Amino acid sequence: MPALYRSLLVTGVLALNCSASFAQEVTLRLGHVEAPASTTHVMLEKMAEMVAEKTGDAVEIQVFPQSQLGSQREMTEAVQFGALDATAGPVAFMGGFNPVASIMDIPFLYPEDAQKAQAIRDSGFAEAFCESFNARGVTCVSLYPNGTKQFTSNKEIGPLDAFSGQSFRVMESAVLVESMGSIGVKGVPIPFGELYTALQTGVVDGEENPLDTIFNMKFFEVQDYLVLSNHGAIENVVLFSPSIWSGLDEPYREAITSSLKEIVPDMIAHKSAAGDRALEAIRASDVTIVELSENERMALRDKMFPAARDAFLARSGGEGADLFQAYQAAFDAVMN
């Protein structure tokens, strides 16, 4: 063989071997229900980039937004049975799958200070919460914040006694219904897709959602009052199929969990900025905005928190009691 050909052959083999050494080893599909512009999607895409960088492109995480891979229930079940690698979803949609997850429906679970709230998650509560999913055929690798809920209504709201006699849409949760009842509000479970019409036609007086949701879904167009209450936490989990997760090399698992943890500050900042932009736009509308004093917020908490807590404990048995105890210990460690 001519020397030139031998040289070209060797070069070609080296190039192939070099390419193979950097070839992608794992491709994972992760689905969620939120829009491409949402905080969840933006941050999960960033997490995927971080994982690729940490693993030398050995792990690719493909993120599918806006229910491309199914509803949250369908994706959660697919992860459970190994048909989907992972999903990131709101805990509020998973009460039927994991009853003790409804602890997140308790109003005023976290303090307003985002850093203290995160410290509570990091003080053992997030780990205990994830364990409740792990016992149900999935592997929970992250619990992360996705905003806080505010109140809106077509009737005046603000001080505690102003809520009495109204009806608010809530997600299908006995804990939410009980917490609303504690301030004289009738909680009415209505599918999210029907909420705008329900507000427009007066089926219910009001609702609760984060600011960016209130703006993006145009609920403010059919509501007269907005109360900045920061009363309800919206929390999400990242769930992996156990067989997929256990099959990953430990450095790959570490790259995923560390990246998810590292993006939390950016996630909080991104969600806060989205809320600020939404509030600015709502202020330009005809909506009356009420900012509660700390005493008024605490008056709401004093009514809503115990009612919701008791409803949760009554329905969640010993497992729920243990999880609430882990929460209380984390809360006390951070706040005292």
Region 138-163: mean pLDDT is: 94
Q: What pLDDT is attached to residue 148? A: 95
| 173 has a pLDDT exceeding 90 | no
The 3-state secondary structure of the chain, one letter per residue:
CCHHHHHHHHHHHHHHHHHHHCCCCEEEEEECCCCCCCHHHHHHHHHHHHHHHHCCCCEEEEEECCCCCCCHHHHHHHHHCCCCCEEEEEHHHCCCCCHHHHHHHCCCCCCCCHHHHHHHHHHHHHHHHHHHHHCCCCEEEEEEEEEEEEEEECCCCCCHHHCCCCEEEECCCHHHHHHHHCCCCEEEECCHHHHHHHHHHCCCCEEEECHHHHHHCCHHHHCCEEEEEEEEEEEEEEEECHHHHHHCCHHHHHHHHHHHHHCHHHHHHHHHHHHHHHHHHHHCCCCEEEECCHHHHHHHHHHHHHHHHHHHHHHHHHHHHHHHHHHHHHHHHHHC
Band the pLDDT of 18: cuts 50, 70, 90.
very low
d(CA 76, CA 73): 5
Region 108-125: mean pLDDT is: 93
CA-closest candidate to residue 306, choices 181, 169, 173: 181
Torsion of Cα atoms, 126 then 33 then 175 then 232, to 10°: 70
- Structural domains of the chain in order of their starting residue, each with its CATH number: 24-335 (3.40.190.170)
Q: How many CB atoms lie within 10 A of CB 134?
A: 13
Region 12-26: mean pLDDT is: 45
pTM for the complete prediction?
A: 0.84
Q: What pLDDT is attached to residue 117? A: 95
Band the pLDDT of 246: cuts 50, 70, 90.
very high
Q: What pLDDT is attached to residue 24? A: 52
Residue 144: exposed, middle, or buried by beta-carbon count in 10 A (0-12, 13-18, 19+)? buried
| 22 has a pLDDT exceeding 70 | no
Residue matched to tokens 């055929």: 137
Inter-axis angle of helices 39-54 and 250-262, to 10 degrees? 140
Q: What pLDDT is attached to residue 7? A: 36
Which residues have CB under 8 Å from 253's CB, separation 6+?
Answer: 141, 245
Region 64-78: mean pLDDT is: 93
Q: How many CB atoms lie within 10 A of CB 130?
A: 18
Q: What pLDDT is attached to residue 40? A: 92
Band the pLDDT of 11: cuts 50, 70, 90.
very low
Region 279-283: mean pLDDT is: 97
Q: What pLDDT is attached to residue 151? A: 98
Cα dist. 59→26, 55, 56, 62 in Å?
5, 6, 8, 10
Region 206-231: mean pLDDT is: 95
d(CA 325, CA 305): 15
| 15 has a pLDDT exceeding 80 | no
CA 115 to chain centre: 17
